[in-house]
Amino acid sequence: MKMYRGLSRVIILSLLGGALGSLFVAVRPAHAQVTTSTFTLQVSGTASAAVTGLPEAVTFAGPLVVTATVMSDPTRPTGVLVSIDGRGVKGTGSKTGTVYLNECEANLTRLFAATDVIKTTFAFFKDAAGSYLTSKTGLLTLNLSYDTATLSLVNVTGSIGTL
C-alpha cells in the first residue's frame, strides 16, 4: 500500500508538473535566433625567424574571411561560432622569396560581446611537396566588433605574427 501511495503521488505530481511544464513551453516568450554575418579583411604581418627557426622571416599578406554565426538564446548566454578562412593569405620569405602556404581554417566557439579579441594559431609551410611535414606556427590576432542590436559583425581587423 505504501508503495502504491508513493506511486500515485509521483504520478499526480508528474501530471501536474507536466501540465504546468507544457504551459510553460507553450508560452515560452522568447525564441532562439541565429544571425550570420561575414567580413572579409586584408591581414598582414611577419613571422620572425627567431621564433619559427626558419632561415628567414616570412611576411604574410592576403584576404581573410571571418564568418560570425551568433546564437541568441534566452536560456543561455549568447554564443557565437567564428569561422575563419585565411588560406588565401600568402607568405613570402624575406630573403629567398619562397612562397609559403597555410592551413588557416578554424571554427571557434566564443562568448558574444560587443568586441572580441581572438588569438589563434595556424600552420604554414613551403609551397612544395611534402613540406607540411615541417610546418611552422603563425599567430593570427583578430579584433572583432559587433553591432549588439543586429548581432552582426561591423568591423574586423587583424594581424599575423608568432607566439
Partner 1 sequence: MRLPGERTKSRLRDFIRIGLMSGALLLVITEGLGALAPSAPAFGGSDGGVPTGLPPSPTFGIQKFTQPMPRLDLLPRNAVSTLVPAPTEQANTTQQAVDPALGGGSGPIEGRPPGPIWAHQGFARFPPKVAVEVTMEGAKINSAYTPGVSSSLNSGIDPTTPFRPRFHPSLPDQGPLAMWTFNGTLPPKLLLGRYAEPILFREHNKLPVDKTQNGGFGIHTISTHEHNGHHGAENDGFTGAFFFPNQFYDYHWPVVLAGFTSINTGATDPQAATPDDTGGKVNIAGDWHETMSTHWFHDHMFSFTSQNVYKGMAAMFNIYSAKDRGNEAINDGVNLRLPSGTAKSWANLDYDVNIMLADKAWDANGQLAFNKFDFDGFLGDRMTVNLVDNPFFEVEARKYRFRILNAAVSRFFKLALSDGSTMIQIANDGNLLPHPVPLTELDEMGIAERYDVVIDFSRYAVGSKVWWVNLTQQTNGKEPDQDLSLQQALAGSTVDPVVGKFLEFRIVRAPAAPDVSQVPDPMIPNPVLPVVTRTRTFEFKDRATQTTTGSTSFTGPWGIATDGQRDALDADYGRISAAPAFGTTEQWTLQGGFGWDHPIHIHFEEGQIISRSGSFSRSGSNNVPAWEQGRKDVYRLRPGGTVTIAMQFRDWGGMFMEHCHNTVHEDNAMLLRWEIDNGGSPFLRPLPTPIATPQGVTFIPPDEILPTAF
The residue among 137 and 155 lying less far from partner 1, judged by its C-beta, is 137
Q: Is 143 in the site for partner 1 (CB under 8 A)?
A: no
Of positions 5, 24, 29, 30, contacts partner 1 by CB under 8 A: 24
Which C-beta is closer to partner 1: that of 97 or that of 130?
130
Residues in 75-114 at the binding interface with partner 1, rule: CB under 8 A: 75-77, 79, 81, 83, 85, 103, 105-111
Report the C-alpha dihedral over residues 39, 119, 107, 57, rounded to 10 degrees.
Answer: 90
Instruction: Assign 78 to helix, strand or coil.
Output: coil
**Residue 159 · residue 138 · CB < 8 Å:** no
Separation between Cα atoms, residue 87 and residue 64, nearest integer Å: 7
Q: Which is nearer to partner 1, 16 or 114 (CB)?
A: 16
